[in-house]
């Protein structure tokens, strides 16, 4: 397959390298100094689970022209960066499949510029951070690459995308309701991020306080119940089970273990520096939606204050 990965950060770099190594023709769209570094050194990855370092050469491009043709474009910019990319994707009519592998609490609302037939929704299967030129990452079997058509159908292209990800070493799972999956996931994510910021920006510090983790569990529970009260059936089932059905003490213990894991030290802590624009924007979108719910979210509201950034 001829694939363009749009955005050369953590997620884009790992997917581009893995897909290229699986035999696909991959181009990676990068900008500024990152493009220079990738042309000079290739994509440098370190798997934090086993310390394995790899370097992969892919073709580096700096723009997507209206006439450029690829089988699929994987969009891996952040949610708060997407608005600048959408007009460029809309101007290109050659690529029939645009797969968005990013946090997205608003579903299709933001894609008005695009033909919905071109869109596949997804979520990446890794946690990681870029330090200088090297991306340090971790993959977990229980965290698959999620994929779904906008209308929930299982189409040949969806099967083909799942197959190429599996061939590249990722687990992949199809969701019949990816828009809700992304919203449910965003509520959980934002709860964890805001509670971690309140605990001093270290997930291990948050894990130490059972009281604070219990507050986090309560906040996520409130968010999910408020979403459900708006008529949105919750998915995935695993999150409903964890936050709504299982005994609270069990969920708190499990969350403490998760917050002490490598996934948290790589997938949460390094992203809590000066630029928390993506989380801030996600929180605003989520709260705008949940404000219309008949169920209130007092604990979640208290946590989300930590994401409010001073305006410059």
Ligand X SMILES: NC(=O)c1ccc[n+]([C@@H]2O[C@H](COP(=O)([O-])OP(=O)(O)OC[C@H]3O[C@@H](n4cnc5c(N)ncnc54)[C@H](OP(=O)(O)O)[C@@H]3O)[C@@H](O)[C@H]2O)c1
173/228 with CB nearer ligand X:
173
Cα separation, 304 vs 118, in Å, equals 34
Binding mask 271-300 for ligand X (x = CB under 6 A): -------x----------------------
Taking CB under 6 A as the rule, does residue 18 contact ligand X?
no
- Residue 77's Cβ-count burial label (10 Å; 0-12, 13-18, 19+) is buried
Q: How far is the CB of 81 from ligand X (least distance, A)?
A: 4
Q: How far is the CB of 101 from ligand X (least distance, A)?
A: 6
Cα separation, 18 vs 279, in Å, equals 27
Q: In this chain, which of 4, 5, 10, 17 binds ligand X, going by CB under 6 A? A: 10
Return the axis-axis angle of helices 210-229 and 277-290, rounded to nearest 10°. 50
Q: Which stretch binds ligand X (CB under 6 A): 67-75, 79-87, 230-238, 304-312?
A: 79-87
**Residues binding ligand X: what is the number (CB under 6 A)?**
25
64/219 with CB nearer ligand X:
64
Taking CB under 6 A as the rule, does residue 76 contact ligand X?
yes
- How many residues in the chain? 312
Token pair 């892919």: residue? 58
> Is the separation of the CB atoms in 283 and 190 below 8 Å?
yes
Q: Kindly identify the residues of this chain, within the stretch 97-156, that bind ligand X according to CB under 6 A.
A: 102-103, 124, 127-128, 130
Cβ neighbours of residue 103 under 8 Å, at least 6 residues apart? Answer: 78, 79, 123, 182, 185, 186, 189, 278, 282
Token pair 């409903």: residue? 240
183/293 with CB nearer ligand X:
183
Q: In this chain, which of 40, 84, 231, 245 binds ligand X, going by CB under 6 A? A: 84
Q: Which residues bind ligand X (CB under 6 A)?
A: 7-12, 29, 31-32, 34, 76-79, 81, 84-85, 102-103, 124, 127-128, 130, 267, 278
């Amino acid at each position: 397959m001829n694939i363009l990965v749009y955005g050369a950060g953590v997620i884009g770099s790992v997917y581009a390298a893995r897909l290229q190594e699986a035999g696909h023709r991959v181009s990676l769209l990068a900008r500024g100094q990152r493009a220079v570094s990738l042309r000079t050194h290739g994509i440098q990855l370190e798997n934090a689970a086993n310390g394995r370092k790899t370097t992969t050469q892919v073709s580096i491009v700096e723009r997507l022209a209206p006439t450029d043709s690829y089988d699929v474009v994987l969009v891996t910019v952040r949610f708060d960066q997407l608005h600048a990319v959408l007009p460029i994707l809309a101007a290109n009519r050659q690529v029939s499949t645009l797969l968005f592998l990013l946090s997205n609490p608003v579903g299709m609302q933001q894609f008005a510029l695009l033909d919905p037939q071109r869109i596949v929704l997804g979520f990446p299967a890794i946690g990681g951070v870029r330090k200088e030129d090297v991306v340090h990452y971790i993959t977990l079997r229980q965290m698959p690459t999620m994929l779904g058509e906008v209308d929930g159908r299982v189409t040949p292209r969806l099967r083909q995308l799942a197959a190429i990800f599996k061939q590249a070493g990722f687990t992949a799972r199809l969701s019949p309701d990816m828009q809700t999956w992304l919203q449910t996931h965003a509520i959980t994510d934002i709860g964890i991020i805001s509670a971690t910021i309140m605990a001093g920006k270290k997930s291990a510090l948050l894990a130490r306080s059972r009281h604070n983790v219990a507050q986090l569990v309560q906040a996520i529970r409130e968010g999910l119940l408020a979403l459900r009260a708006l008529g949105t059936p919750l998915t995935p089932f695993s999150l409903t089970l964890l936050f709504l059905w299982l005994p609270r003490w069990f969920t708190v213990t499990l969350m403490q273990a998760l917050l002490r894991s490598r996934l948290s030290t790589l997938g949460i802590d390094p992203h809590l520096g000066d630029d928390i624009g993506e989380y801030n924007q996600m929180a605003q979108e989520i709260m705008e939606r949940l404000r219309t719910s008949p169920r209130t979210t007092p604990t979640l509201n208290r946590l989300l204050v930590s994401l409010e950034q001073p305006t410059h």
